[in-house]
Structure 1
Amino acid sequence: MAVVYLDCNATTPLAPEVRDIMIHYLTDEFGNEGSRTHEYGARAKSAVQKARDQVAAVVGAKRDEVIFTSGATESNNLAILGLRGAGIEQGKRHVITTAIEHKAVLEPCDALEREGFEVTRLPVGENGAVDPEAVRDALRPDTLLVSVMQVNNETGICQPIAEIVDILQDHEAFFHTDAAQGFGKELDSLKHPRVDLISISGHKIHAPKGVGALITRRRGYARLPLTPLTFGGGQERGLRPGTLPVPLIAALGAAAEIAVRDHHKRQQACAMLRNTALGSLAPLNPKLTGDQSKAMNHVLNISFAGLDSEALIVALKDLIAISNGSACTSSSYTPSHVLKAMGMSDEDANACVRISWCHLTPAVDWEQIAQRIRTLY
C-alpha cells in the first residue's frame, strides 16, 4: 500500500492541466519574454501577460499590479523591505505584524528593526487568530505597514483580514498579507482594494515550485513606493529583474484560473475528507488546535494526549506523510513559534501534528490510522 501524502500545506502536487502547460512552454514555446525581434519572444510575452491576467483575476486586481517572483518568501521580502526607503523618507518607522507569521515575514521585520524601525508583534489567543482590535490599538500616526497573514500555515486558522481592512480605512498605513496558504482557496478577503500587497506561491495551488507573485495594488493612480532588492535588467517594472521563467509563470497563471473555476468542487472534496478524518479519530479524543470555526477545511493541527509528534510521525510513516510544523523550518526541532504564541507549553506544542490534504488526495484509510495510533498507548 502506497503512503498517502498528507502534507499539502508544505507543497501541493502538480495539477495535470498545469503540468501540460508548463511542459509546452519548456519544450515547444521556449522563447525569452524579453526578445522583441521575433515571434518566439512575442508568444512568450503573450503567455506572461495572460498569466498576469489570470493571477490578478483571483483577487480583482489589474494586470500591471502583478509582479512575478520566485515565491511568497521573496514576495514578502520585497513587500516589507521594499517599503523601507518610503518609511525613512516619510518619517514612518513603525510596523505592525503578528507573532504567528511565517519566518519570511518575521525575519524581514527583524531586519527593519535592526535598522531603527519599531516593530509591534501582536499576540494571539488560544483560538489562533489575532484580535482586530489589537491592530486598531497598535496603530500610530507613524505606522508604515501592517502585515497579517491570510491563513496560518501550521494551524489553518483564517485571520480577520476583512475586519483589519475596515480598521485601516481611515489610516494611510500599507496593508500586506502573506496569502501563500489562502490564495485560490479563500477567495473573498483578498478582493478588497484596501489590501495593498498580497504575496503568493505557486506550489501551494498545484503549480510548480519556484514561482509566485507579489500583487501591488495602486492607490488611486499612484503606485506603491516600493524599491527593488535586486538590480539589473529592469524586468517587472524594475522591482524584480532577471529573465522571466515563462514556463513557471504560465503554469502559475493556469493554476490560479483553475483554482477559481474548480473552487466549489475542491472545497467539497476537502470538507468531505475532513469530516471522515474527524469521525474516525474522534474515539481517540484528539485535541484540535485553534478555533475550528475559523479553520480551512483542508488542514488539521491535532494532538493526542501523551503522544509526542515525532513518535506519531514515525509510527504512521508507512501509512501517511504528515508534519509537525512549517516545512520551511522542518530541520529545527524547537517548538513551533506559532503554537507557542497561542499559549502552548513546549510539551503541548511538541505533541501537535499537521495533517493537510487537497482535492487530489487519494482515499485515506482513517480507521487503519486510528488503530495504529491506539497501539501507541
Structure 2
Amino acid sequence: MTGDAGPEREDVRGVVRGTAPAPLSILDLATVGAGTTPGQALAATTELARTAERLGYHRFWVAEHHGMPGVASSTPAVLIAHLAAHTSTLRLGSGGVMLPNHAPLAIAEQFGLLEALHPGRIDLGLGRAPGTDQATARALRRGSLADGEEFPTQLAELTHFLDGDFPDSHPYARLSAVPNGPQRPPIWLLGSSGFSARLAGRLGLPFAFAHHFSAANTVPALDLYRSSFRPSAVLAEPYALIGVSAVAVPAGGEEAARHLARSAALGMLRLRRGTPGPIPTPEEAAAYPYSPAEAEFIDSWLANVVLGEPGPVAEGLEELRKRTGADELMVTSHIHGVPARLESYELIAEAYGLTGR
C-alpha cells in the first residue's frame, strides 16, 4: 500500500524550533463555548491558526465531530481550506477525518484538491471511529455497511485512489481521483487503542495517538506501533506524535489552570452521559453540584491535563515526551474563552523559546 522501502518522504517529520526538544503542534476543535456561536468559534480557530504560524508551531490539525454543540469542526476539509487561505506556511491537516463516514473516493478528491491548492502544506489524518453517536453515524452513512472493521479495506482503496495505482484487475482501475498532482498528502493513522497502532506500523505510516482522552493506552499503543513497524516509502523508521491536553496560565499556578480546564472536563462529562452542549464557563464548572462519581470522573480527566504556569507546563510536557518516546507533541487547550486559549498557546510557545517561521 505504501510502496517499497526507500528514501522516506521529507514532509512527515516535524521541524524543531526554539529550545523545544521535539516539534510542537496544535490540535483545535473549533471550541464553541457557552454564550458564543459556531461562527465565533470558527473565527477564533482562524485567529488561532494565524497565531500558531506566527509563533512557530509546526502543524495545526482540526478534528471531525458530529452532533456535538461544543465542537464546530464537523467537516475538516472545508475548515482546512479556509485556514490555508488565511495562512501561508503553517502545515494543516485533519486530526482526523473519520474514514468509515465517507466514501474513499470523496476523501481522495477533497484532499487532492487541498494539496493542489496548497502544495506541501496538507496532512491527511484518518480515524476509524465515527466521531459521534451511533444514530448520527447511521445518518451519515445511510445505506453503507462500512464500520471500523472495514477500515483497512477502505484505507487501501483511498490510498490507491490517491496514488492512481489500482491493479488492472480491480473494478476501480479505470477511475481517477481528480485533481491528482505530482505528490499527494501524507497519510497519518490516528488511534486511541492498539488497532490503528498495529496497522500504522505494518504499513510504515506515521501514527498519532490520542493521549488526551486515552492516556492509559498511550505507552502500550506506541510500543505496539514500534514493534509492528515495517520500513516503507513513507518512513524508514517509526514516527509518532501524541495529542496532549495542556493549559498554561501567566500566574496562579496549577490551581488557576485547573479552574480553566475544569470547563472542558465538565463538557466531557456531559458528553459521556449523552447530554452534550457548548463548553461551560469556568464559573459554571466551579459551581456545578458534582456527585461523588462525577467528581471522580472530573479528577480522573484533569489528571491527564498538563497544568500550570509556562515553566512547569513545559517540564510536564517534556516528562511526558520522555516517558512515551513521542517524536512530536500536539497540544490542545480545549477550554472556554478565546483569550484564555490564545494565551495558553502563546505561553507554551514562550516557554519553549519558539521563534516563529
Task: Tell me, yes or no, whether TM beats 0.5.
Answer: no
Larger radius of gyration: 1
For Structure 1 versus Structure 2, the TM-score category normalised by the shorter chain is 0.3 to 0.5
TM-score after normalising by structure 2: 0.32
